Copies of this chain bind each other. A is one copy, B any other.
């Protein structure tokens, strides 16, 4: 045991956190305490970012107009996605609940500012997508922080990202990373809903090759 390691008890709970983190689409409608939400959002500032560019930009979607526009965006793209399947797969897809946008008390559109000067481009010269990846890392930490509090997050990606950016009136250099529903999950599970309903299952091994 190295002296910089966390305790065995923490490791056990951390493993449980990994197993119970879910993409949540079924939320209760009761509100989220603002102090708890703020505490969870604070982990963004502890997230890794390329060159310390901190390119994350968060829009809290609160107004009826903004939520309606986001929901319409999802509904249009989800219908389009359904039309790409046929037979049993289409039948199954049509029954999936792929967002909690009608119920989730907190909704966030998270963007990456591709043009930020912060960090002076360090680490993002050959792979400018690193800025977007930084935002994804931050969202992943936020996801875990929410789960620690008992809250759930659902990542909605069945959206036209340009339409979302236009509807929210954000700068042209901002790229949508995801639309996030946050709230109290209806239930807790160690199995993804897509696996429960038979859409797809998780692999049993990690593909690792050696060179």
Contacts and interface: CB of A to CB of B under 8 A. Distances in A.
Copies in the complex: 2
A206 B59 CA distance: 11
Contact-residue bracket for chain A: 35 or more
A115 interface: no
Contacts of A2: 149-151, 184
A126 interface: yes
A26 interface: no
B18 A13 contact: no
Nearest to A108: B208
Contact of A148 (B10, B119, B161): B10
30 contacts: A2-B149, A2-B151, A4-B185, A4-B188, A5-B148, A6-B149, A7-B13, A10-B13, A44-B206, A45-B206, A48-B155, A51-B194, A52-B194, A52-B195, A52-B200, A52-B201, A60-B211, A61-B211, A66-B211, A80-B125, A81-B126, A84-B121, A98-B122, A119-B194, A119-B200, A124-B157, A126-B157, A127-B157, A132-B133, A136-B137
